[in-house]
Amino acid sequence: MGIVLGIDLGTTNSCMAVVDPSTGQARVLPNREGERTTPSVVGFDASGKVTVGSTAHRQAVLHPRETIFGVKRLIGRRFSDPAVQKLMKLLPYEVVSDPAGNAAVRVHGQVMSPAEVSSHVLRCLKESAEAQLGQPVEGAVITVPAYFDEVQRQETKAAGQRAGLTVHRLINEPTAAMLASRFDESRPENIAVFDLGGGTFDISLLHVEDEVVQVLSTCGDNFLGGDNFDELVVEALRRIFLKQTGVDLTGNPEALWRLKDSAESTKRTLSELDQTSIDLAYLAATPQGPLHLSIPSFSRTLLENLVARELERLRAPCEQALQDAGLTVKDIHRVILVGGMTRMPAVRTRAEQYLGHPGERSVNPDEAVAMGAALEADIVTGTSPEMPKVLLLDVLSRSLGIRTEGGRFSVLIPRNTTIPARETKVFATTFDQQTHVDIEVYQGEAPTVDGNRYLGELQLAGLPAAAAGSVRVAVDFTIDADGILHVTAREPATGRKAEATLRPPTASSP
Ligand code: AMP
């Protein structure tokens, strides 16, 4: 088998690592430009040329509509999803609906799925690794946010396959981070992984005992990350510029992109310093000449005030994760900080406040997830013989169930159930002379199916015609280690059976 990489396919940045077979240690592979992380940005020019990473990021100033970033927030979502509708207003590029109603992007008139955009990032990483290692890269273990649903996982897998990678496994980012930090535990421990990246916040509580890592609960916010912090700073800069010059930069994508760049680097600087200055020359042009933005002092306190609400948003998922796992802060033994945003002092303070321990950062927070994915790749492929065979027990990110009378959602396997899992529930016919039942499968937490994700359906026909409620149908859900759901419906009296393997709908199926 060729090389199998560990890849952290991030909202803002991606990172890859590989295990050195002689030492069993994971190491980060830099990209062709020598960077240890690669911006998840893809640029398209009119001739069809594609650029990835920092090169694409640099062209964004001139071509904001042709430079696609942050597609991880769109992947596997419907166009009508309120989150997509909200995001669209903030993005400088065009978000559209594909013919099947899924969120997609349009560049130079061409509609592309988020998976296709991501595949360019993955291919770039694959090719960089091959150039460096002098060997073909065969596959990857790719990480996903802990509570990505089945569709988002499937689309991430599709992105890998499109890039020519065999996706050996998708693992949850916090689980990967925990693997990278330490996993030869001699005593049982509860570990909180607090992961604040560019676009998502995940908090996961893990239990480690006898080389078994069990995810007790996962919670988070798909729409909370460094990008939100940057947007608030951009908005403040826009207002300051308006006050200084009387010119509103709304509707000027080039200027807004420069503000975003400046906001991000200001935020990073303020993780180290108490204050910094901002100078952006030629930010806008007027008939009277060019206009510049100059802020001699921008303080850490000002930044913390601007993002106070976002910092507060970190609290509820921490509390929910503790509640779901049946733990209190006293039961937590250690906290691992992951994601570039955990370098911000105010974020670290919140993590400690909500989880009761100062966060440890034994591995670089930007690289921990990729390193853990590389270790998992090594376990899956059995490359290093002396590698401890850590058994990864994962949990279901969203409840699985079926539609019942009145559009209600009846849960068969609740979220946070350790997978693989199996559950059977018996349902009765709902009207007289009913000879078939349609079993519609959904995933989510809403009490009615309208609020949940449709995964597919199967029909059990040939039921004995009888009075409502007198014919019973046993519905069995089995979810395997890769998160693929197998559904069986059986009528015990006649032994009639219908089966389906439900894969989430892909971009090409409605
Ligand atoms: P990740 O998704 O883990 O790559 O995290 C990316 C996010 O971390 C972006 O929003 C970055 O602006 C942010 N970030 C990276 N380094 C720092 C830093 N030193 N201080 C504050 N935020 C940072």
CA-nearest residue for atom 22, ligand 1, is 341
Q: How far apart are CA 279 and CA 281, in angstroms?
A: 6
Position 16 scores a pLDDT of 98
Mutate which of 7, 268, 371 for ligand 1 pocket (most atoms within 8 A of beta carbon): 268
Helix (H, G, I), strand (E, B) or coil at 409: strand
The two three-digit tokens of residue 114, written as one number: 């988020």
- Interval between CA 339 and ligand 1 midpoint (Å): 7
Residues in contact with ligand 1 by the CB-under-6-Å rule are: 10-13, 197-198, 226, 264, 267-268, 271, 339-341, 343-344, 366
Nearest to 388 by CA among 141, 167, 185: 185
Active-site residue, 423 included: no
Q: How far apart are CA 156 and CA 334, in angstroms?
A: 30
Tell me if 355 sits within 8 A of 318, measured CB to CB: yes
Tell me if 350 sits within 8 A of 311, measured CB to CB: yes
Answer yes or no: same fold for 3-224+313-395 and 226-308. Answer: no
Helix (H, G, I), strand (E, B) or coil at 142: strand
Active-site residue, 497 included: no
Active-site residue, 173 included: yes
Rg, C-alpha atoms of the chain: 24
Mutate which of 143, 341, 344 for ligand 1 pocket (most atoms within 8 A of beta carbon): 341
Position 325 scores a pLDDT of 92
CA-nearest residue for atom 7, ligand 1, is 198
Measured over all CA atoms, what is the biggest interatomic distance in the chain, rounded to whole angstroms?
A: 86
Q: Cα 280 to the chain's mean position, in Å? A: 33
Helix (H, G, I), strand (E, B) or coil at 55: helix
Position 89 scores a pLDDT of 87
Residue-wise DSSP of 487-508: EEEEETTTTEEEEEEEPPP-TT
The fourth-level CATH superfamily of domain 226-308 is: ATPase, substrate binding domain, subdomain 4 (3.90.640.10)
Q: What angle do CA 38, 42, 44 make, to 5 degrees?
A: 150
Name the fold adopted by 400-501.
Answer: Substrate Binding Domain Of DNAk; Chain A, domain 1 (2.60.34)
Tell me if 331 sits within 8 A of 192, measured CB to CB: no
Position 83 scores a pLDDT of 86
The two three-digit tokens of residue 200, written as one number: 């998502």
Which parts of 4-80 fold into alpha helices (H)?
54-59
Position 509 scores a pLDDT of 29
Nearest to 222 by CA among 129, 103, 393: 103
**Phi, psi (degrees; rounded to nearest 5) at 429:** -65, 155
Which parts of 30-80 fold into alpha helices (H)?
54-59
Q: Helices 253-272 and 226-245: crossing angle, nearest 10°?
A: 110
The two three-digit tokens of residue 230, written as one number: 């940057």
For residue 408, what is the DSSP state?
E
Please tell me the CATH code under which domain 3-224+313-395 is placed.
Answer: 3.30.420.40
Element (H, E) at 231: helix 226-245
Tell me if 213 sits within 8 A of 393, measured CB to CB: yes
Mutate which of 73, 267, 342, 367 for ligand 1 pocket (most atoms within 8 A of beta carbon): 267
Position 508 scores a pLDDT of 29
Q: Which residues contact 77 (CB under 8 A, 6 or more apart)?
A: 83, 84, 102, 103, 152
Tell me if 388 sits within 8 A of 184, measured CB to CB: yes
Position 390 scores a pLDDT of 61
75-94: per-residue pLDDT in tens? 999 899 888 998 898 888 99
Q: Helices 114-133 and 150-162: crossing angle, nearest 10°?
A: 50
Residue tagged 């009378």 (tokens):
405
Active-site residue, 195 included: yes
Q: Using a CB cutoff of 8 Å and minimum separation of 24, what contacts does 23-26 make?
A: 24/378, 24/384, 24/386, 24/387, 26/180, 26/370, 26/371, 26/372, 26/374, 26/375, 26/378
The parts of the chain modelled with pLDDT lower than 50 are 504-510
Q: Model pTM greater than 0.85?
A: no
Neighbours of 206 (CB within 10 A): 24
Domain boundaries defined on the chain: 3-224+313-395, 226-308, 400-501
- Interval between CA 365 and ligand 1 midpoint (Å): 9
